[in-house]
Amino acid sequence: MIAKDSTEEAATVAALKEEVLRRLTITVCKDSSTASLRDWFIATALATRDRLAASWLASTKRNYREDRRRVYYLSLEFLIGRLLIDTLTNLGLTGAMRGALAELGVDLDRLREVEPDAALGNGGLGRLAACFMDSMATLEIAACGYGIRYDHGLFRQTIKDGWQHEYPEDWLSFGNPWEFPRPEITYDIGFGGHVEHTRLADGALAHVWRPGEKIVAVAYDTPVAGWRGKHVNTLRLWSARALDPLRLDAFNQGDHVGALTEQVRAEAISKVLYPSDSTPAGQELRLRQEYFFVSASLQDLIRRHMKQTGDIAKLAEKTAIQLNDTHPAIGVAELMRLLVDVHGVEWRQAWEITQATFSYTNHTLLPEALETWPVWLMEKLLPRHMQIIYLINAIHLDSLRERGVTDSGVLASVSLIDEHNGRHVRMGHLAFLGSHKVNGVSALHSELVKKTVFKDFHGLYPDRIVNKTNGVTFRRWLLEANPALSRLLAETIGPGVFDDATRLAGLEAFADDPSFQERFAAAKRENKERLAAKIFDSVGVRVDPEALFDAQIKRIHEYKRQLLNVLEAVAVYLDIKSQPSRDFVPRVKILAGKAAASYHQAKLIIKLANDVARVVNADPAMRGRLQMVFLPNYNVSLAETIIPAADLSEQISTAGMEASGTGNMKFALNGALTIGTLDGANVEIRERVGEDNIFIFGLTAEEVQESRARGIDARETIAASPRLSAALNAIASGVFSPDDPHRYAQLVDTLIYYDHFLVTRDFDHYCESQRRVDARWRDQKAWRRAASLNTARVAWFSSDRAIREYAADIWKVDVRV
C-alpha cells in the first residue's frame, strides 16, 4: 500500500529478482530449474532480510549515539507467526517481491504457505508480545525483546477420532532464515549449589553463590522491522547449551548415552514451551526455563548498559524492563543478586534501582495462572535467590508494621511467602513489590486486579496499579490477513490509514452508502470463500460461504466457555430436528484452539465439539442450515484466514475472568460483529462501536460473584430451561457418542452440580442473543452497516496507541513517530 511510481517500482522489482537469484545460487546452492518451493522461500526470506540489515545497524548505532533510554520486554512467549509477508509489508515491498518472483515463475502466496509458523507462544499473551514488538519498532523506541528460542515451541495439534493429540512442532527442522546466531554472546547460568558467607575488608558481610550446575545461554537475534522499515529493533531469544556437550571419558568407556546426559539436561530448558508441570520434574524444568532466560537477559542488558554508561548506578535512568506476566518475575530477585553480589551495590540503593527499573503487566485473575513455587524447590534450585526473597519480604513487612499496619490477615496476604498448604513463593507478589508500576490490560481487568488478587497491595500502594488496555498490530490484521478489505479502505479513505489507524474513522461516512456496502460485502465474501477452501482441505467438510460464519478461536479453557457455544449448537440442532419447516438462518460454527496437554476437561470439550460436528454435518435434515467444524492446530496463520472471514465473533467468557482479549479486537477490525459478555476489552469495544453494533449478554462480573456466593448447583436453573435440559439430556444420553453413551456423563454432571463458570446461568440469555444475531443477519443492509461501523470505530485498539501509553506513563521514553 506504499505508492511508488512505475519507474521506481520496476527498478525495485529488477533488484529484488537479482537478490533472490543471488541468494538461491550462493546461499541455497540451487539452480532455478531444480529449486523446490522451500528453496525459493529460503532465498526470498534471506533477500528480504538483507534489506533490513542497513536499517538495523543504523538503528543500533543511533541508539548508542543518542544515549537513548532503552526498553527491554521480557516474555516467555513471542507468538510471531510467519515473517515473510509481515516483513515485506513493513518494508513496503510486497508488490515488488510478488512481481519479481512472478518473473521467476514463483508464486509468493505459495511461498507464504511453505514458511513454518513459529509456535513460540500459546495465545493472546504471546501474540500481544509480538504486536508490541512491532509497534515499538514502528514508533522508533529503542527496544529489545527477550525470550526463549524453543526447539519445538507449543505442540502441534492433530485431531484423531475427535480427540486432541500432541506432537512436537518442528519449526526449526529446515533452519530459520530470519535469525542471526550470535555464538559470541553467551552467559553462564547457575543452578543449585550453596551460598558462602565472607567478610569484606570493610567488615561488611558478602554472599557468594557457588552453583552446583552451570549451563550456557546462547543468543539468537531476529530483526523486527517497524512500519516502512525506518527503525529496526531486536528480538533476542536464548538457546540452552551444556558447558561440556560430551563427556568423552564416558563415551570412550562405552557409555554412549550417559556421555550425553549433561547435554540433554541442559538443552531440555529450551526444548519445549510450557512443559507439563504435573510432576515434580516438570515443575522444576518450568522454573529452570524462567530463571534461564531472565538471568541471561539481565546479564545481557547490564553488559549493554555498562558499555553505554560505565555506571551501574544509572541503570534505572537508562533502562526500563517490562515483565510480561509472572513468568519473568524471578527477575526481581536476579537483578538484586547481580547488583548486590556482582556489582557491589548497597542493598537499599539496589532495591531503589530495581523498583525504578521494573514494571509488571498482570494478565490474569485466575489463581493458577499467578505462579507460585514451593519454597523447597526454590531453595534447591536457586538458594541465593531464596535468601534475597526472604530479605525483601522481611524488610517489606517490617516497613508496613512501622507504618502502623498490624492486621495479621493483611500482613499474611501481602507476604511474598504463602504459609498455607505448604510454603510457596508468590511470584505475582514479588513482581508487584519489585515494580514501580503494575498494569492491567483492560479497564475492567485493572479494576478487578485492585479488588481481587492485589486488593491489599492496592490499599497499601494506591498509585501503583494503572490500566493499559491491550492493542493489536492493525496493519498485520488488515494488510496481511485481509488484502481485500485493505484495498477497499485505501480506495475509500486513502492509503494513509495504514500510517495512522485513527483515520479509520473516515469510513463511518460510508456506512450507509449502498455501493460501499456492496463492496464491503464482496470483500467479506472473498475471505469466506478462502476459508471455505481451507475448511475443506483441513476437515473435508464443504461449507456455504453464503451462510453466517460464526467463529470462536482461542485457547480451550473452561472459563472461555467453548462449552456454552457447543451447547447452543446442540439446542439449535434439536430445534431443526423438531421443527423442520421453520425458517432458520444458515450458520457455520467454526471452532479452533489447543487444550493444555494435561487439561482433561478441556480435551473432553474438544472431543464433544468434534462429536457434535460429526453428527450435525452428517444429518440430511440440516440441509445446510447448521454446520460445525473444529479446525486443528490453531496458530497465527490459521487466525489470519479465519478472522477476515468471520461474520460473528464469539467472546463469551465468564464475566470477570478474561483479562482483555485481543482476538475480539482483530475480529471487530475486520468487520465481524461481537457476541459476548461484558468481560475484558468487550466493555471498551461496546463503548467504541456502540450498543447497536454488538450483542451483549449474560451476567456482569459483579453478578457472577453474587451468583457464586449463592451457590453453583445448577439443578434449578436447568429445570427452568427446557432447551438447556434437552441439550444436556442429548449429550448425556449418547446422541453424539453412540459408541460410548456415557462419555460425557462427568462433563454434564459438572455443569449440573458444580457450574463454576456459570454456563447454565448464561445459556438462555446467550440463546436469545443468538436469535437477535439471526434477526440482524436477515436484514443484510443493517448487518453490513454494523459491520463497517465496527471497522471504522476500533482504531483505538491499535497496539501503537497502547505502546504510546506505556512509553509516556510507565517507561518514560520518547516516541519518535
Query: Which residues have a catalytic role annotated?
Result: 363, 554-555, 560, 662, 666
Check if the beta carbon of residue 411 is closer than 8 Å to that of residue 456. Answer: no
DSSP letter for 809, please.
I
By C-alpha distance, which of 550, 471, 485 is closest to 519? Answer: 485
Compute CA distances 653 → 157, 555, 663, whole Å. Answer: 23, 12, 13
Q: What is the grid cell recorded at 730?
A: 442429548
At residue 646, the 3 state secondary structure works out as coil
Bridge partner list, 695? 675
Question: Coil, helix or strand for 374?
Answer: strand
Residue 265: burial class (beta carbons within 10 Å; 0-12, 13-18, 19+): middle
Contact 682, 391 (CB under 8 A): no
Grid coordinates given for 49: 532480510
Distance, C-alpha 192 to centroid of its chain = 32
**How many other C-beta atoms lie within 10 A of the C-beta of residue 213?**
16
Give the Cα-Cα-Cα angle 75, 68, 433 (nearest 5 degrees).
45
Secondary structure (3-state) at 323: strand
Which is nearest to 657 in space by CA: 448, 365, 313, 322? Answer: 365
By DSSP bridging, strand 319-324 and strand 70-74 are parallel
* Spatial CB neighbours of 283, under 8 Å, sequence gap ≥ 6: 277, 373, 374, 377
C-alpha 109/C-alpha 233 separation (Å) is 27
With residue 437 as reference, give the H or E element that holds it.
Answer: strand 437-440
223 Cβ contact list (under 8 Å, min separation 6): 49, 52, 53, 56, 178, 180, 232, 233, 234, 235
| CA–CA distances in Å: residue 667 to residues 266, 678, 685 | 41, 16, 11
Question: How far is the C-alpha of 283 from the C-alpha of 757, rounded, in Å?
Answer: 27
Q: Is 745 exposed, middle or buried (0-12, 13-18, 19+ CB in 10 A)?
A: middle
Contact 772, 728 (CB under 8 A): no
Strand order in the sheet with 417-418: 372-374, 424-426, 417-418
Question: Where is 245: in which H helix or E strand?
Answer: none
361: helix, strand or coil: strand
* C-beta atoms surrounding 188 within 10 Å: 13
Cα separation, 702 vs 709, whole angstroms:
11
Which residue has cell 522499515? 229
Show the CA angle centred on residue 136, arms to residues 439 and 275, nearest 5°: 65
- Amino acid present at 716: E
Non-local (6+) Cβ contacts of 776 within 8 A are 673, 782, 783, 786
- Quote the CA–CA distance of 448 and 442 in Å, as a whole number: 10
d(CA 130, CA 141) in angstroms, rounded, equals 15
Specify the length of the chain in residues: 817
Name every residue whose Cβ is closer than 8 Å to that of residue 195 and which is 6 or more positions away in sequence. 207, 208, 209, 210, 383, 384, 387
Distances (CA, A) of 98 to 9, 94, 102, 420, 657: 12, 6, 6, 61, 44
